[in-house]
Structure 1
């Protein structure tokens, strides 16, 4: 189990960041990868019927975010929210009818710059746009004492310890739902930091996506990205390995698809995938 791995969690600072439920923005046509104009729900607001554990495919939407989407209009404050909120962090509603109820962070969506939160269905029904949500930001700075070459990012230490990671022959065996080849990674490549946001698995080649079994991905699934270096930005490096979480849905636009927020990176070959269809963050909060 990963709770046997030695970390510096006792030195990781837990502090507060906050955002408001962000009203959806924009509208009009989105042009699909095969040239068809469509009008679809997309990012922001409260998604009442899209949740962690649901399929990331098949929705009549584009970049759909499960649960609740929060952000700050002040760019500096939102940069802190996006950077220091970590997957698995406790999120507490602090205004409105649902004040006091709690959920957890499920990912960060770059570009629109939203932090995504999961709440129980009964809580969603009480929420309104602009309600404030406080996050106990805890995780950035987490390190593995015996594996200094592996970077951890954007993952709550409690959730990391529930990921059923094992050690074998000096390598970490990480349960993931699927392995993604580097040629499928698209929108977000070249971003200067992997400590915020996400990047997309391109799904324009539907036959390849089905061949690899990626059409079965769900919100919250863990995936391993081959030859993908997210150490100090997002790019290709032969032999590098990244592990991430599926945070938003498939997309109709070229170069886009389900988004991945990264949580582990190694430039070497000391992270290996163990295929487990149950490797989903929703399982680790129960």
Structure 2
């Protein structure tokens, strides 16, 4: 597949580890029950790419290390720039503290929180502190499929993209995915036009529907196909469209929420087809998280 990899620019961006925040009060779940649980941010030691997204005593938990440009600049253009430039599969390097020099891999963007998520080995997690700085070699935004102008690609390092096992046949692209998500299950994030940052959620209030579509076994890092959803210029339902993304955060208890998906490929036209493959996980492809050698 021909891509414009040699025309992409690699630019450094640098962030810091997010200090977890919480109101200390109960919230209300989609079933009307109150809950008070850990959520986003920090260094998450025991939740990694490859782990199940369901079953944690948490809400919106982010695997690995959650980063942001600056805690005080969450809603600034600079932080949006940090989220935009960082792509799934990019190399991240610790540039301060006891873990200085250690390397990790970007695994996704979490919208709303505006976090960039990074996987590091256990020995690095043990050395990191919440004051450490992490530099990312951003590379990927601007990626194009030269023979498929109606297929848009965002948020992914081209070196990872080339390892996904996508096949071309009869003018279409066949993409290995773990599961197919019906459009009616997509929730929080619909209507966003920030295609180069963030994610949107697979709603999980109806467990029977999740079971029907094989979604209860989803893991962090899984690649999924979202049917009839166009992410070309905003997130919207469009019959025949398709979007491909990576599962980046856990299940959530709020109405309209669930495991988050960062989109990296989409078309408004019926040009993308799913090929079910249980190994379609960025952790397995990159040997990170639970799949680290």
TM over 0.5: yes
- Root-mean-square deviation over aligned CA pairs: 0.8
SS at match of 2:107: strand
Question: Of 14, 23, 36, which residue of structure 2 is paired with 1:18?
Answer: 14
1:51 equivalent to 2:48? Answer: yes
After superposition, residues 121-140 of structure 1 pair within 5 angstroms as: 121-140=122-141
Task: Name the residue aligned to 1:72.
Answer: 69
Alpha-carbon separation, structure 1, partners of 2:69 and 2:173: 37
What is the aligned partner in structure 2 of residue 197 from structure 1? 198
Matches within 5 A, 1:166-205: 166-205=167-206
User: Unpaired segments of 5 or more residues in structure 1?
Assistant: none
Per-residue deviation, 1:157: 0.4
Q: Distance in 2 between matches of 1:121 and 1:210?
A: 32
2:108: which partner in 1?
107
Aligned to 1:264: 265
| Equivalent-residue separation in structure 2 for 1:46 and 1:274 (angstroms) | 34
Distance 1:121 1:77 in 2: 30
- In 2: Cα distance, 1:214 partner to 1:14 partner: 35
Q: Spell out, residue by residue over 1:80-127, the C-alpha distance to the aligned partner (whole angstroms, 9 max, x if none).
A: 111110000000000111010000000000001000000001110111
Q: CA deviation at 1:168?
A: 1.3
Extract unaligned runs of 5+ from structure 2: 288-293
Q: How far apart in 2 are the matches of 1:235 and 1:97?
A: 45
**Structure 1 runs, 4 residues or longer, greater than 6 Å off:** none
Write the distance in 1 (CA, Å) between the matches of 2:113 and 2:194: 16
Provide the C-alpha distance between the structure 2 equivalents of 1:10 and 1:284, rounded to a whole number of angstroms.
Answer: 22
TM-score, normalising length from structure 2? 0.95
Report the Cα distance in structure 1 between the residues aligned to 2:286 and 2:10, rounded to whole angstroms: 18
